[in-house]
Structure 1
């Protein structure tokens, strides 16, 4: 324990600041966050913690672990945006601690410290850590299961694989199982299987993971199996839910931007890890298999989302942490120009994206100015430290910049856009005008947030038939985005009266 303590508090303090700073400042962002807040809220209202519901109907999209966490958070802290995001933030902090601990045990204290800092200050990691979504819970469980294998704590593999299965589904078992098997096959290490006590482990896994699936199958039968297993796992893997994302290189820019600023040393780190030797090679080989398998799996998947590859970030952080520790030991001998040069290109691209966003959204101009200045100062600091062959300063200047950027991002970049991103504003307007009886119709994209904030479910406007139904009513409220209104026929627009508006969200009355 003493070996872990010196850097552990650094990781905890920085993680808590980056992840928890203004956690509830921005309302839940449409459409995903409100889904993962509304469902646990309905669990509490119905006193049914087994069958997830949304809009009063059974919901088979995800297993219940994250819903249970959020429902517990609501029970303790009350319904709030902070409470909805709290479980994800805690999982992120625990994951950073796990990565630090792994770096110390697999290599040394310096690798542990570097790896933990790299993980928690990578852009996508702290962004998703602040979101009420399931991805961070899955990432924590998979990280714990796979590191348990490396630490030879085999019982915990099955425990955390089971929890991952209750968090996200079959990949909770498939990912650790396949990654471990690939590693064993790569080094012909099949004797490990005897140590892992696989039959007993499978029993333990089933004791934890199977009950919820068994109960759901008993109560809901083929509806649950066909929807959860058939659609949300098999169909979404083989058929694109978002056709515009079916690109083989989809995750290349996601990794470049998502792991910013540490992608500046990612390629060099992986290359170096493949050319080491001995026990260090075996450890790094496992980390590489872990990261590349997740990247390959979701590249093959037809449905792609930015957050899917989050579980590859912990092994990437460990590989980069190991590499940067090697640079520290060598005092940058050989002049590793690739780091500051690549950083310059990445920072230039990131700054260009920020400037473009500032032109599109003038309300965040102050945040853009400060963020661009911060990144330029960081880049100058990287070059200055490189010139003096000070690897530690090169690392810490990027860590410090991302810690500050994480605060700017929430308060001055996302905060001013809250009305564009959330249904909170239009929901408040609706509550003030609603008579409690008039039918309500809500655009599909807005429905989760509208239901969560207004406590009125409404009927989803998903098909032309739904829209026709709304317009045959003598009187009805419609909650739409401006784009939805623009495509309506003129004869429909003429029947609508604007009641209230919040950014691009409209409350219309059909009369």
Structure 2
């Protein structure tokens, strides 16, 4: 009877592997839903997403793709190189000046990352492991939902280049060309998210030394690798230096590297257990699968599976997780999405370990059943949570009102002021970053600070005022002869 039951599980595994490409297409289709469904309907987030969106839009308007600006002033707060802005600018060109254009290349980068995990695990660990790993990363909530694949931030592209760089270095045995591809992906990661790419360099360096592959490389190959790592960065650096000399680079080093590492900037504090708590809250079910399968894999690992290549593979995956985790744990500024690059590595481990446990010689019905239940339950819980989030976009009434300006071409390009919402306690007339982006995207308007007073003093043609209905009464509108250009239940946009 036990043999029969084991045979039943083996038949299921054989069936999955036989029709691997059908199962993979189904999983990738679900991944596309997770990434793209309602992508342009969610309100734009302030801070990073809106800030990147403003810089990309203004690059197009200024026809300057080297210097990032915010409200048409050089931005020395968002100190990232330009690839993420270029991606958003391309998204605007393809999908329009809207939230979909802002996010479409992040979602595409997310899909490429998921596909890369699928292909890598297929060739390294087989069809069953590939199906499991792909399901894992495609249903990883923080990767899909939090500041990454569905957001117009730099993180999705950064994780993609991070993943491609590490996967490429793992293929070094096949051809030295993969070393150069890894270096190029590192340089693109740096040009996406600056110093965050440093962990890639540490992973690659430690891997090449500990695996002793470095000592087998020719000097010429090492030189080409170093060149592939730095040449694109140098080219960008030359153009950026021509724009504002050393000012941008000094801020990159002093603020984005040294200060962010040594001081908890902008209130982003946390203890040494901060990222463990992040994983417990947003990655709990997959973490349960990861820990249980890795422990079981370690206990029953068969002797014939231990060879130089497998040890090197394990070394690389462990470095992929441990180095970023330790780096950001040590840094004083702590933000949950800093550890996003480790999720593809965790998905690969879950797929490799689970696939091995389900097919190894010492497998039994109990272990196969337990692993299958854990995998299915975790996939279900995560996927349900993702679906619940993406089917409910929510609404931001100010953003919706600003969209209406795009339907009124007579106001396109005019000044607009605000007294609606602020991200600055010391300046109640300062624009919330998401509303500033909406003003630019939907009406090509110049978002000006100054509030009601500035609006009243403005002598330009048709200035506008974004204001909440609790800030102004109908009597005041009538007394000042203001015109209601557009409104909803919470917001006015007025003209004089």
Q: Same fold by TM (over 0.5)?
A: yes
Q: CA deviation at 1:391?
A: 3.8
- Taking structure 1 as reference, are residues 263 and 297 closer, same or farther at Cα in structure 2, changes over 3 Å only? same
Q: CA deviation at 1:246?
A: 3.0
1:156 equivalent among 178, 181, 184: 181
- Taking structure 1 as reference, are residues 78 and 428 closer, same or farther at Cα in structure 2, changes over 3 Å only? closer
Does residue 230 of structure 2 align to residue 245 of structure 1? no
User: Does the aligned pair in 2 maintain the 1:125–1:258 contact within 8 Å?
Assistant: no
Pairwise mapping of residues 282-361 of structure 1 onto structure 2 (< 5 A)?
Answer: 282-329=312-359, 333=364, 335=366
User: Does the aligned pair in 2 maintain the 1:110–1:325 contact within 8 Å?
Assistant: yes
Q: CA deviation at 1:55?
A: 0.5
Q: Residue 434 of structure 2 corresponds to which residue in structure 1? A: 449
- Measured against aligned partners, the alpha-carbon deviations of 1:41-69 in whole angstroms (never above 9, x if no partner) come to 11111111111112001124211111111
SS in 2 for 1:168: helix
Q: Structure 2: how far apart are the matches of 1:11 and 1:438? A: 46
Q: Structure 1: how far apart are the matches of 2:237 and 2:20? A: 38
Q: CA deviation at 1:130?
A: 0.9
Q: CA deviation at 1:71?
A: 0.8
Does residue 58 of structure 2 align to residue 42 of structure 1? yes
Q: More deviation in 298-307 or 26-35?
A: 26-35
Q: Residue 476 of structure 2 corresponds to which residue in structure 1? A: none
Tell me how large the CA RMSD over aligned residues is: 3.7
2:67 equivalent among 51, 61, 79: 51
Does residue 59 of structure 2 align to residue 79 of structure 1? no
Q: Residue 138 of structure 1 corresponds to which residue in structure 2? A: 158
Q: Structure 2: how far apart are the matches of 1:296 and 1:170? A: 15
Q: Residue 241 of structure 2 corresponds to which residue in structure 1? A: 217
Pairwise mapping of residues 106-505 of structure 1 onto structure 2 (< 5 A)?
Answer: 106-127=124-145, 128-152=148-172, 153-172=178-197, 174-194=198-218, 197-243=221-267, 245-272=269-296, 276=301, 277-278=306-307, 279-329=309-359, 333=364, 335=366, 389=369, 391-392=371-372, 394-412=374-392, 415=393, 417-419=394-396, 423-425=398-400, 427=402, 440=418, 443-444=422-423, 447-455=432-440, 456-459=445-448, 475=456
Q: Residue 378 of structure 1 corresponds to which residue in structure 2? A: none
User: Does the aligned pair in 2 maintain the 1:11–1:100 contact within 8 Å?
Assistant: no
- Taking structure 1 as reference, are residues 270 and 214 closer, same or farther at Cα in structure 2, changes over 3 Å only? farther
Q: CA deviation at 1:312?
A: 0.6
Q: CA deviation at 1:260?
A: 4.1
User: Does the aligned pair in 1 maintain the 2:137–2:347 contact within 8 Å?
Assistant: yes
- Measured against aligned partners, the alpha-carbon deviations of 1:361-381 in whole angstroms (never above 9, x if no partner) come to xxxxxxxxxxxxxxxxxxxxx
Structure 1: any 5+ residue segments left out of the alignment? 337-385, 461-468, 486-496
Say which one has the larger Rg.
Answer: 2
User: Does the aligned pair in 1 maintain the 2:417–2:466 contact within 8 Å?
Assistant: no
Does residue 113 of structure 2 align to residue 95 of structure 1? yes
- Taking structure 1 as reference, are residues 437 and 448 closer, same or farther at Cα in structure 2, changes over 3 Å only? closer
Q: More deviation in 104-113 or 260-269?
A: 260-269
Structure 2: any 5+ residue segments left out of the alignment? 1-17, 173-177, 425-430, 458-463, 472-481
Q: CA deviation at 1:296?
A: 0.7
Normalising by structure 2, we get a TM-score of 0.76
User: Does the aligned pair in 1 maintain the 2:128–2:355 contact within 8 Å?
Assistant: yes
Q: Structure 2: how far apart are the matches of 1:438 and 1:103? A: 52
Q: Structure 1: how far apart are the matches of 2:133 and 2:318? A: 15
User: Does the aligned pair in 2 maintain the 1:298–1:304 contact within 8 Å?
Assistant: yes
- Taking structure 1 as reference, are residues 107 and 429 closer, same or farther at Cα in structure 2, changes over 3 Å only? closer
Q: Which has the higher helix share?
A: 1
- Measured against aligned partners, the alpha-carbon deviations of 1:293-324 in whole angstroms (never above 9, x if no partner) come to 11111111111211111001111111111222
